[in-house]
């Protein structure tokens, strides 16, 4: 008989087949975030070790996570950690296919969106989450603009390209797919948070000097009138906040986006909250934060940690300003 785990706040969590065993769950920890980390789940439960004979490292599992208001995330993952101490079991699940993170691949792509979609789908995730964000990297169809994957896992390669996908855009490998959030074009996708009155601010919020983002990416062309630049007309200096990279000119926007978005991922415009209710707000959603304790209120959710225990629910939210340069 299937046993759906029902938490203190009436959230529901279920792993197919595993929860049909005679297990006694003590703790569930679910972590999901932007900027390239793969979602993970850690389960702690009691079980007869003989019942777990079919549960080995790399076994693929599926399941669901449902919030009290009915929003459901689909779980697709594999066991990457398994510890047995008598009847005490700790199981770690990573939300992707094992080959996505482990296999080294050599490949070649002519378009960045094709490269991202192809490597992502090999991770056995569902399709990229809508609404889609279109890349601003548009290579000419001349066969000269190629993106090479040289002995990299699809995870490493896809992670790198996602930072180059579009200027001022964040991304995340989430339970329901690969998601991009264009901070310049948020449109009408603002999310309604169920009840912010229970959100408790943890630790003092952080914000950085606006000079951290004063300058956009500079492209310094070697094909310049100055004599020192005429020696190499095919390369460009990509410069951002004191960091300079010399690249083939056809790849300058690819590298420029990477530098800017990588810097964006280290923004200090961050606040952390805790509450005892799993809201429908998802990682990558943006919304109005109703708090007078911080200096920014237009935010996106960059990380969520859910902990279900026998008699409690605790959810940690990390939010970031959608305009860290202001």
Summarised one tens digit per residue, pLDDT across range 270-289 is: 889 999 999 888 899 988 88
pLDDT higher than 80, residue 143: no
Mean local confidence (pLDDT), 176-190: 80
pLDDT tier at 154, thresholds 50, 70, 90: very high
Give the mean pLDDT of 295-302: 85
Terminal Cα-to-Cα distance of the chain (whole angstroms): 55
If one counts every other C-beta atom within 10 angstroms of the C-beta of residue 239, the result is 16
Instruction: Specify the pLDDT at position 199.
Output: 87
- Answer yes or no: is pLDDT of 145 > 60: yes
Tokens 């889609």 correspond to 132
pLDDT band at 193 (very low <50, low <70, confident <90, very high): confident
Determine the Cα–Cα distance for residues 292 and 288; give it in Å rounded to an integer: 12
For 318, the token pair is: 């990390």
Contacts with 81 (C-beta within 8 Å, 6 or more apart), sequence order? 42, 57, 90, 91, 92
Place 128 in a pLDDT band, splitting at 50, 70 and 90. very low
pLDDT tens profile 54-75: 999 999 899 999 999 888 888 8
* pLDDT > 50? residue 183: yes
Give the predicted TM-score (pTM) of the model. Answer: 0.88
- The pLDDT, as a whole number, for residue 187 is 64
Region of poorest pLDDT, from 128-132, 149-153, 168-172: 128-132
DSSP annotation of 242 reads T
CA distances from 49 to 26, 80, 207, 280, 293 (A): 16, 17, 49, 36, 49
Q: What is the pLDDT of residue 5?
A: 92
| pLDDT reading at 125 higher than 50 | no
Mean pLDDT of 46-53: 93
Q: Give the pLDDT band of residue 212 (cuts 50, 70, 90).
A: very low
Structure confidence at residue 83 as a pLDDT band (50, 70, 90): very high
């Amino acid at each position: 008989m299937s046993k759906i785990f029902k938490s203190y706040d009436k959230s529901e969590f279920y792993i197919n087949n595993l929860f049909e065993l005679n297990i006694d769950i003590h703790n569930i920890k679910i972590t999901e975030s932007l900027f390239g980390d793969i979602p993970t789940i850690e389960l702690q439960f009691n079980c007869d070790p003989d019942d777990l004979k079919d549960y080995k490292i790399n076994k693929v599992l599926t399941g669901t996570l449902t919030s009290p208001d009915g929003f459901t995330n689909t779980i697709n993952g594999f066991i990457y950690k398994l510890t047995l101490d008598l009847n005490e079991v700790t199981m770690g699940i990573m939300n992707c296919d094992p080959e996505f993170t482990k296999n080294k691949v050599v490949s070649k792509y002519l378009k960045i969106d094709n490269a991202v979609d192809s490597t992502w789908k090999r991770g056995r995730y569902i399709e990229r989450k809508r609404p889609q964000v279109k890349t601003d990297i548009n290579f000419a169809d001349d066969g000269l603009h190629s993106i090479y994957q040289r002995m990299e896992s699809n995870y490493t390669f896809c992670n790198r390209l996602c930072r180059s996908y579009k200027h001022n855009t964040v991304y995340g490998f989430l339970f329901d797919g690969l998601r991009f959030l264009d901070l310049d074009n948020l449109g009408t996708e603002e999310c309604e948070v169920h009840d912010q009155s229970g959100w408790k601010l943890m630790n003092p919020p952080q914000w950085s000097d606006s000079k951290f983002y004063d300058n956009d990416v500079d492209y310094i062309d070697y094909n310049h009138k100055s004599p020192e630049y005429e020696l190499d007309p095919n390369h460009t200096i990509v410069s951002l906040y004191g960091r300079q990279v010399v690249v083939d000119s056809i790849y300058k926007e690819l590298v420029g986006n990477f530098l800017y978005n990588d810097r964006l991922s280290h923004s200090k415009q961050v606040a952390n909250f805790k509450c005892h209710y799993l809201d429908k707000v998802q990682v990558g959603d943006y919304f109005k934060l109703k708090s007078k304790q911080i200096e920014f209120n237009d935010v996106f959710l960059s990380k969520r940690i859910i902990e279900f225990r026998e008699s409690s629910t605790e959810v940690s939210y990390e939010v970031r300003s959608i305009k860290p340069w202001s």
